[in-house]
Homo-oligomer: A and B are copies of this chain.
Amino acid sequence: MTDDAASAVLDTARLARTAAADLAPLPRSAKDAALLAMADALEARTAEILDANAVDVADGRAEGLSEAMVDRLSLTAARVSDMADGLRQVATLPDPVGEVIRGYTLPNGLEVRQVRVPLGVIGIIYEARPNVTVDAAGLCVKSGNAVLLRGSSSARHSNEALAAILDEAATGAGLPPHTIQLVPGHTRESVKHLMTARGLVDVLIPRGGAGLIETVVRESTVPVIETGVGNCHVYVDAAHPSVEQITEIVLNSKVQRPSVCNAAETLLVHADAAEAVLPVVLLALKEAGVTVHADQRAAEIASVNGVTSIPVTDDDWGSEYLSLDLAVGVVDSLDDAIAHIRRWSTGHTEAILTESQQAAKTFVSHVDSAAVMVNASTRFTDGGQFGFGAEIGISTQKLHARGPMGLPELTSTKFVVTGEGHVRG
């Protein structure tokens, strides 16, 4: 049984490898034509997609999925159209493949060019939302990669319909067959086989909760790009901007969309700023429905304004709440704030709010995270906000890509060296 499951996954990966070899040299025009055909096919076959999705939704309800999860899982004609438009949008983006990163002629006349090439076969492991199936397929096609999709088993029928429609449309438009495939099997075993398909799969990108990402990182022998766990901090410096501006940034960072990785989870305030800042900011947060987990100093200052709080624990400092909760602490110095962040951060995004050029410089150079904001909301760490046009995830590791990943981050490079009979002396 296990052997069958393993060989099914490996067979799929081998088909992807062959597809990748044929896909890599294709010009942009071929890939864009396929993306447009994929978009049209989604819209033309909406009924089929919605039928498959209805099965997943019914199964989910029967298994007692929460209404929030059912909503994430549910597709409508409008949502299918949005996915199709996403593919059309990717078609308008520049092709990263072929870009010359470096190019020069050596003293001996050898011409050296470092050129972007596709990674090859990309495996994406993700949870719930079926739209990831379409987004990931589109970005991989555009960057010349074959893709192995391993979605949540709760979305299996939706994903099967979507992947089949996309691959059929891509093939019809001239791309190699098996450019877009689902990983067969719905057990944890099939994920394991994907994670050990070294030599067949070039990179795995897990998208989802911390547990999923940790499992993939620990067990995969295929190289992994970690994404998206964000315990993000906002630090208010002694030389702080206006309390109004601080309130606006903290609220935006925490409240605008608390369930995403670039939402703030901890607020640190310099002791010299605490009495001016905390009562106003915490009251505003409270009014926005935020539960405050405060250290003793913050709690005392906030209570002046009638804001109650829960005592903060190490679990809080280490939490990515993804909810309307915020850990709040008072620190005695910029250095203490940096030390706190270095200890507890997941390396996603941290912000400093300061009028001091020196404090901003120190914070930026000492905080070891993918993105550091100066006087701006943590919510800006996002491929769309950064102007990338598309995003496959936000890398929180240091190798290959760090921060929002767009199309260039789905490529590798190759050195092309051209001589006229050159030999090494």
Contacts and interface: CB of A to CB of B under 8 A. Distances in A.
A380 B110 contact: yes
Contact of A417 (B117, B371, B400, B413): B371
Given A368-B24, A379-B424, A403 B399 contact: no
A397 B248 contact: no
Interface in A408-424: 412-424
Q: Determine chain A's interface SS by DSSP, over half rule.
A: mixed
Contacts of A397: 223
Interface string A8-46: 000000000000010011000000000000000000000
Nearest to A422: B376
Contact of A423 (B110, B342, B362, B379): B379
Contacts of A414: 368-372, 402-403
A5 interface: no
Contact of A377 (B366, B372, B404, B423): B423
Interface in A240-281: 241, 245, 248-249, 251-252, 256
A53 interface: no
A interface, size bucket: 35 or more
A218 interface: yes
Interface stretch (A157-165, A173-181, A302-310, A381-389): A381-389
A402 B413 contact: yes
B368 A120 contact: yes
A249 B421 contact: yes
A97 to B, nearest CB: 10
Nearest to A420: B375
A374 interface: yes
Contact of A416 (B25, B256, B372, B416): B372
A183 interface: no
